[in-house]
Amino acid sequence: MTRTKLIAGNWKMNGLAASTAELDKIIAGAKELPSRVELLICPPFTLIDRFADRAERSRVAVGAQDAHPKASGAHTGCVSAAMLKDAGATHVIVGHSERRTDQKETDAEVNAKAAAVIGEGLIAIVCVGETEAERDAGRALDVVGTQLAGSLPAGSTAANLVVAYEPVWAIGTGRTPSTADVAEMHAHIRTRLRDQLGAEGEGVRILYGGSVKASNAAELLAVADVDGALVGGASLTAEQFLPIAQAV
């Protein structure tokens, strides 16, 4: 099955108003990309509104990095999916390993967040991935299978769900798994998606994330069931991000 590749940039806690200049370069470069690739930038909350205005009618979608499961209420410092939609976001990353570690997010919380995102008509990008100790112990497939079972909400479809596989030990380290290991994990995720979502599981895009850059993108994106990339550090500049999309 052909799935349109998604190259998503997660800016994490980076970016100020002046970064709009970099977004403009990404928008300009995106015009030259083939139609088989979609681009997404997920800046910090503070830039979503500004970026969404800027990217309107362009090839670049704008997303968020987290959402609270509730639509509104007494949750100081939190932002809901409804607010993100209002600001112009179309996608929301949930369950990133940095949040699973720093904020101790559980699969159940990730599930509730993804359900809220989907409930607002947005696309949830649910992140999964094993630690180095879990891989060394031969538990990577089991760990990711358990995360998927717990994190994917009822009502997930190919249209409202994207899964991002990010081995924790590959994030920001310059290290990547072998293409054989990526292929094994993505095939495993595909099987689990078919088991959990039936026919819809075939169309859900599975991104690889963890030290993706221009020099390794073509190799990683050519692996079966790798339907795009979730890019951190190399998404912060057009110079580094666009060549990853060009590698599709």
Annotated binding-site residues for substrate read 10-12, 172, 211, 232-233
6's tokens: 């998604």
Q: Does 95 bind ligand G3H (CB under 6 A)?
A: no
Q: Does 176 bind ligand G3H (CB under 6 A)?
A: no
What residue numbers does the annotated binding site cover? Answer: 10-12, 172, 211, 232-233
Q: Which of 19, 80, 151, 211 binds ligand G3H (CB under 6 A)?
A: 211
Q: How far is the CB of 96 from ligand G3H (least distance, A)?
A: 6
Q: Does 64 bind ligand G3H (CB under 6 A)?
A: no
Q: Does 166 bind ligand G3H (CB under 6 A)?
A: yes
Q: How far is the CB of 8 from ligand G3H (least distance, A)?
A: 8
* C-beta closer to ligand G3H: residue 91 or 96: 96
Q: How far is the CB of 231 from ligand G3H (least distance, A)?
A: 5
Q: Does 94 bind ligand G3H (CB under 6 A)?
A: no
Q: Does 210 bind ligand G3H (CB under 6 A)?
A: yes
Q: Tell me whether residue 166 is one of the annotated catalytic residues.
A: yes
| Per annotation, catalytic residue among 68, 91, 166, 188 | 166
| Per annotation, catalytic residue among 68, 91, 96, 188 | 96
**Any idea which residues carry the catalytic annotation?**
96, 166
